Amino acid sequence: MTATVKPEIGSTVVANGIETNYLEDGSGDDTVLLIHGSGPGVTSYANWRLVIPALATKFRVIAPDMVGFGFSERPKDVEYNVQTWADQTVGLMDALGIEKTSLVGNSFGGAIALRIATQHPERIDKLVLMGSMGVPFPITEGLERVWGYEASFENMRKVLDVFAYSRELVNDELAQVRYEGSIQPGFQESFSSMFPAPRQRWVEAMCTPEEDIRALPHRTLILHGREDQVIPLQTSLRLEELIDNADLSVYSHCGH
Q: What is the pLDDT of residue 3?
A: 47
SS3 44: helix
Where does the pLDDT of residue 102 fall: very low under 50, low under 70, confident under 90, or very high at 90 and above? very high
Per-chain mean pLDDT for the chain:
95
Could you give the residue ranges of the DSSP H alpha helices within 96-137? 108-119
User: Residue 124 pairs with which residues in a beta bridge?
Assistant: 101
SS3 227: coil
- Residues catalogued as catalytic: 107, 228, 256
Task: Calculate Rg over the CA atoms of the chain.
Answer: 17
Q: What is the pLDDT of residue 170?
A: 85
Q: What is the pLDDT of residues 134-146, one digit of tens each?
A: 999 999 999 999 9
Closest CA relative to residue 140, chosen from 222, 227, 240: 227
Q: Are 102 and 129 in contact (CB under 8 A)?
A: no
Q: What is the pLDDT of residue 184?
A: 92
Q: What is the pLDDT of residue 174?
A: 84
Residue 142's contacts (CB-CB under 8 Å, 6 or more residues apart) are 162, 163, 228, 229, 230, 256
Q: Is the pLDDT of residue 2 over 70?
A: no
Q: What is the pLDDT of residue 173?
A: 87
Q: Is the pLDDT of residue 222 over 80?
A: yes
Q: Which helix (H) or strand (E) holds 20?
A: strand 18-25
Residue 148's contacts (CB-CB under 8 Å, 6 or more residues apart) are 195, 197, 199
Q: What is the pLDDT of residue 5?
A: 73
Q: Is the pLDDT of residue 168 over 90?
A: no
Q: What is the pLDDT of residues 50-60, one digit of tens each?
A: 999 999 999 99
User: Rounded distance, CA 116 to CA 25, Å?
Assistant: 22
User: Rounded distance, CA 40 to CA 51, Å?
Assistant: 20
Q: Are 79 and 87 in contact (CB under 8 A)?
A: no
Closest CA relative to residue 213, chosen from 138, 126, 135, 106: 135
**Could you tell me the pTM of the whole model?**
0.96
